[in-house]
Amino acid sequence: MNPLAFRFQLPHPRNHMKGTTMTPTTTASTTAPAPASAGVSAADATANLATDLSADNDYAAAGFGQRLGFGRRPALIVIDFVDAYLVESSPLYAGVEDELASAARVLHSARAASIPVLYTVVEQDTGPTGGGVFARKAAGLATLATGSPLGAIAAPLTPQQGEPILSKKYASSFFGTSLATDLTVLGCDSVILVGLSTSGCVRATAVDACQHGFIPLVVRDAVGDRRSEPHEAALFDLDAKYADVVSEQDVVTYLAGLAASSA
């Protein structure tokens, strides 16, 4: 069986920017391609399937996509799940309500298991250094200027007492913050990642977690992006090289086991 759990789907735009969820697949399948969706011919659907299988085989043959597995001492990192991505009048609105609901369920399970929960938010300074090159490249980040109401963590994920909020100016939750030190002090060996956006801050955080020696577990149902194409490409690449991309159900089951073992 191909160790890669997910395959990259050729671009299909989101409807109203709503997130789509990747489903597990293996290269062993010999079933015919699914019926073509609106605007996609049967020939294109067949070509897409052939490309998917070719990508899977190519990565597997190179040794990518090995499983890291769940750690023994995880922490949950809630990455930038703020109102700017959920208020429709916001320029950063991303249509990620389903991902928010999934993240809330993972958060509930994490608290029940008594594992550390940490949050990150982007805050862009208005001083002379501002948000640096990042803010110049992504001008919409001005929405997240320090003190902006759109920078508030979404209500279903409101931090509880003792759950720290780390402020950052750039994509990775590790860059310019105390996150690596905090996780080391807490004795963590792995991080469960939920948040936004998949191709930006989630991806950067997962890569840096790997580079700091923490197993990154990206919850595919609880991360989202503005478009399906970068979302799916980021999940494919993370699962191939840096992290395990896992389902909400798998994470909830894992956390329930931790809760039972500590009871």
- Residue type for position 55: A
CA distance 109 to 119: 16
DSSP3 helix / strand / coil % (the chain, rounded to 5): 40, 15, 45
- Residue type for position 130: G
Which of 126, 134, 117 has the alpha carbon at shortest distance from 175?
134
Q: 116 with 50: CB under 8 angstroms?
A: no
Q: Residue 179: in which H helix or E strand, if any? A: helix 179-185
Catalytic residue, chosen from 78, 135, 201, 234, is 201
Catalytic residue list contains 201: yes
Which residues, 6 or more positions from 205, have their beta carbon under 8 angstroms from its beta carbon?
A: 77, 79, 120, 171, 172, 173, 174, 191, 193, 195, 216
Burial of 201 by CB count in 10 Å (0-12 exposed, 13-18 middle, 19+ buried)?
A: buried
Enumerate the active-site residues: 201
